[in-house]
Structure 1
Amino acid sequence: MAEQAPLVSVVVPARNEAGNLAPLIDEIAAAMAGRGPFEAIVIDDGSSDATPLVLADLKRTYPWLRPLRHAVSCGQSAAIRTGVRAAAAPVVATLDGDGQNDPAFLPGLVDALAAAGPNVGLVAGQRLGRKDTGFKKLQSRIANAVRGRVLRDGTRDTGCGLKAFRREVFLALPYFDALHRFMPALVRREGFEVALLDVVDRPRRAGTSNYGLWDRLWVGILDLYGVWWLIRRRRRVPEVAEL
């Protein structure tokens, strides 16, 4: 009997998350149980810890798990893009590999995308009760405020890893490092609407964050104005019909 194609591909970027992946994959299994065929693609972004060994062990338990590996670290946006390009389902849901995004919200994101209709290309999670350090929350608050003023994307939290979107919409977006932080604005640039869903944040279980001040501030400012330029230069999206 032929194996059914997945309805949803769950994409998880991970770098040096050996201590977080086993419980996270268990939670994905519980969240997606009874919802039809799915796959989980975990992209090991050049980890230097035991992440590859953990994924190899988990694959023996979960046949729907597809571990992929970057030979060297290429960043979170590159890992997400690798996963989306490899995805076999028309709908992709993402969450971070550090365990702070609760997989229990995956069904709600996927269902909200289905209910919204074809004009909505993205359902973005909006974190409540963030469990980051005070300094990290301050960084994000400033970045989100500046981004909102410049891009007017109607989104208070673009850094949340919990998202669900149509694969074809993502692949139409211009690719650059930090793409994942500007998806609402870029999805709207392609002519689609964006829906928002509140999710509850939780603390990191193990390991340390892969981001620092420079990642979130100065580089983010350059990316912000690059996205602003892309939006300004976008022409009308053509509607094509065969004669």
Structure 2
Amino acid sequence: MTYRLTIIVPVYNEEDNLLRVEKELLSYLKIATVPTKILFVNDGSNDKSQELIEQICERNKDFYFISLSKNKGLSVAIKAGFDHLDTELVGYIDSDLQTSPSDFNLLLEHIDEFDLVTGVRANRKDSFVKKMSSTIANGIRRTFTHDGMDDTGCPLKVIKSSYAKKIPMFKGLHRFLPAMILLQDGKIKQIPIQHFPRIAGEAKYGLWNRLLGPLMDCFAYLWMKKKYINYEIEKSNNE
């Protein structure tokens, strides 16, 4: 099969979620609007996640994995996924399944016209503190990036791989993916999607890395924006 979309699933100590992830992604593959494969990126888990991932990939032909030697964080896991792409499109979903794979089809409806389509978590099923800190962090990022996005941290996105591979990743950049597409003169769009409470496993982000950490990342983004190289070749005889 020639795949068009790779869905990256970063995993860090999600042994209690992975069988449910398998079930949900298998259900999605039956209704996916483009040929799709799944790429687990094990970010140095120290539970049974890797063992489960290998079992899942062994029994499902459209499932693949890479495993990092050490835990490096979400941005590194996403970067590793980008580096191993061989499809036209790349999607991203968290392994906590607080978003639904079925909503990839909503994003894919717009990907021909746009270069990144991201979800906006409607009616979020999170605690008051988590929702408020996320709202504040998103407001701070909009002030710095002017990307117009209401929920840059939403863990459900589809990106054209030609743009994803040009993103110079740094830690925390997963929160700035729309802005990094704009730096490439790409077009972005946000679409409301479903959101669910976490059923199993533990959240990997607390108040510090949900609010204060992103504020520090904004200054790294401004440095990146100032130094970023972007060009378009108008004419060439190098064929």
TM-score range, shorter chain: over 0.9
Rounded Cα–Cα distance in structure 2 between residues aligned with 1:206 and 1:241: 54
Question: Are 1:161 and 2:137 an aligned pair?
Answer: no
Match of 1:53 in 2: 51
Letter in 2 for 1:237: Y
Match of 1:206 in 2: 200
Inter-CA distance 36–198: structure 2 relative to 1 (3 Å threshold): closer
Write out aligned runs for 1:23-172 (5 A).
23-33=20-30, 35=33, 37-114=35-112, 116=113, 120-172=114-166
Q: Give the superposition deviation at 1:233.
A: 4.0
Secondary structure of the 2:196 match is coil
Q: Give the superposition deviation at 1:203.
A: 0.9
Inter-CA distance 148–21: structure 2 relative to 1 (3 Å threshold): same
Rounded Cα–Cα distance in structure 2 between residues aligned with 1:147 and 1:86: 28
Q: Higher mean Cα deviation, 135-144 or 228-237?
A: 228-237
Q: Give the superposition deviation at 1:228.
A: 2.1
Letter in 2 for 1:24: V
Rounded Cα–Cα distance in structure 1 between residues aligned with 2:81 and 2:109: 21
Inter-CA distance 227–36: structure 2 relative to 1 (3 Å threshold): closer
Deviations 1:184-209 (A, max 9, x none): 11110111010111111101120110
Letter in 2 for 1:101: T
Deviations 1:135-159 (A, max 9, x none): 1111101101111122211001000
Q: Is the 8 A contact 2:183 2:230 kept in 1?
A: no
Letter in 2 for 1:149: T
Deviations 1:9-65 (A, max 9, x none): 011111011111211222122222254532100111111111112112212321111
User: What RMSD in Å do the two structures reach over aligned CA positions?
Assistant: 1.6
Note the residue ranges of structure 2 that are not aligned, 5 or more in a row.
Answer: none
Match of 1:14 in 2: 11
Q: Is the 8 A contact 2:89 2:161 kept in 1?
A: yes
Secondary structure of the 1:93 match is strand
Rounded Cα–Cα distance in structure 2 between residues aligned with 1:178 and 1:234: 17
Secondary structure of the 1:92 match is strand
Q: Give the superposition deviation at 1:239.
A: 3.2
Q: Is the 8 A contact 1:188 1:194 kept in 2?
A: yes
Secondary structure of the 1:147 match is helix
Letter in 1 for 2:51: L
Question: Are 1:174 and 2:168 an aligned pair?
Answer: yes
Letter in 1 for 2:159: F
Rounded Cα–Cα distance in structure 1 between residues aligned with 2:141 and 2:19: 35
Letter in 2 for 1:109: L
Deviations 1:72-111 (A, max 9, x none): 1011111111112112211001100111111110122123
Secondary structure of the 2:168 match is coil
Note the residue ranges of structure 1 that are not aligned, 5 or more in a row.
Answer: none
Rounded Cα–Cα distance in structure 1 between residues aligned with 2:46 and 2:227: 40
Percent identity for Structure 1 against Structure 2: 28
Secondary structure of the 1:160 match is coil
